[in-house]
Structure formats: structure tokens, C-alpha cells
């Protein structure tokens, strides 16, 4: 089966099997920020945007993306650098394996929620697992990142 979609602003197409996961398709197209972590849709490492909304690409068939727009971290480098700097300043990027999925969700959350409370932030990001940290540094980075506009 052939699919055509927009990947990070570029038209791409590919021949897929009916059971090809979106995660595998975007990795085949060079988007290595999208990672396989848990195989159970629970860790957030495989987060991409489908038409601007975060989805777990390990749970989405590539065929579902036919005709749609997919965005990965590679397509959001400028936007992501700012939050990544906040993570680094708080020492919250220990191994960095979970960072791409977290960053994808933080950027989506920022677009979707206006002045979110920390409870809303925690709820929005509940599906992002980190095996290195206790989340304290990530939460500090996130608070500083969300407050950056107020302080400017």
C-alpha cells in the first residue's frame, strides 16, 4: 500500500505493509528523535504530532497518516531548543532518552493550554516517563519555561 503525507513540512510517500506503525515509517524517513521505549503506549517516547495534536506513534498505523501532516522533533528544532535549554539548566536531561517525547508534549501543551496550572501541566504530561530523574528538575524547567514570557 502506498501512502503520501507531509512530514515536517515536506511531502513524502512510501510503500508500507498494512501493519506498519507510524513510528517505524517516520524512522525510515530519518526522524530518529521518535523512539520505541515501552511497546505498550505508556512512555511517551514515540510522541509525534498528527495534524498538530500529539499522538503515540507506536499505537498509530502509518496508513492512518495518509494525507495528513506529521511533525516530529526534527521539524520543531527552533521551538524545541528553547525548552531544551531550560531542561539543561536544571540538570533535567540526564540521559536525554525521554527528552524528545517530553519536548513534543510540552510544545503541544503550550499551544493548547492558556496559562495552565501545575495540576493541568502534570495531567497533560502524565504519559511521559523518565527512568533517570525524579521529575523535580523537569518540573522546575517547565515552570521556568512557562513563566519566561511573564518575566520578559
pLDDT digits (tens, 9 = 90+) for 6-33: 999 999 999 999 999 999 999 999 999 9
Chain-wide mean pLDDT for the chain? Answer: 93
Domains detected in the chain: 2-74 (3.10.20.30), 77-151 (1.10.150.120)
Rounded Cα–Cα distance for residues 89 and 66 (Å): 39
pLDDT for 63: 98
Over residues 52-70, mean pLDDT: 97
Q: Name the CA dihedral angle for 75, 11, 60, 66, rounded to a multiple of 10 degrees.
A: 160
**pLDDT score of 122 more than 80:** yes
Residue 152 binned pLDDT confidence (cut-offs 50, 70, 90)? low
Go through 20-40 and write b for each residue having 16 or more CB atoms within 10 A of its CB, e for each that does not: bbbbbbbbebebebbbebeee
Over residues 70-79, mean pLDDT: 96
Rounded Cα–Cα distance for residues 98 and 123 (Å): 17
C-alpha cell at 22: 507510524
Q: How many CB atoms lie within 10 A of CB 76?
A: 19
pTM of the model: 0.92
pLDDT for 34: 97
Residue 98 binned pLDDT confidence (cut-offs 50, 70, 90)? confident
Which residue shows C-alpha cell 511573564?
A: 150
Q: Name the CA dihedral angle for 117, 123, 125, 128, rounded to a multiple of 10 degrees.
A: 150
Over residues 82-111, mean pLDDT: 91
Amino acid at each position: 500500500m502506498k501512502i503520501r503525507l507531509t512530514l515536517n513540512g515536506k511531502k513524502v510517500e512510501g510503500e508500507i505493509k498494512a501493519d506498519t506503525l507510524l513510528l517505524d515509517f517516520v524512522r525510515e524517513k530519518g526522524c530518529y528523535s521518535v523512539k520505541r521505549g515501552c511497546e505498550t503506549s505508556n512512555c511517551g517516547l514515540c510522541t509525534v504530532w498528527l495534524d498538530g495534536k500529539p499522538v503515540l506513534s507506536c499505537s498509530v498505523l502509518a496508513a492512518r497518516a495518509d494525507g495528513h501532516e506529521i511533525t516530529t522533533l526534527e521539524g520543531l528544532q527552533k521551538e524545541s531548543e528553547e525548552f531544551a535549554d531550560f531542561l539543561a539548566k536544571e540538570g533535567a536531561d540526564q540521559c536525554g532518552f525521554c527528552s524528545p517525547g517530553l519536548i513534543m508534549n510540552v510544545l503541544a501543551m503550550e499551544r493548547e493550554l492558556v496559562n495552565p496550572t501545575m495540576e493541568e501541566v502534570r495531567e497533560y504530561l502524565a504519559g511521559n516517563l523518565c527512568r533517570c530523574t525524579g521529575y523535580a528538575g523537569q518540573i522546575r524547567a517547565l515552570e521556568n519555561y512557562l513563566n519566561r514570557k511573564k518575566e520578559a
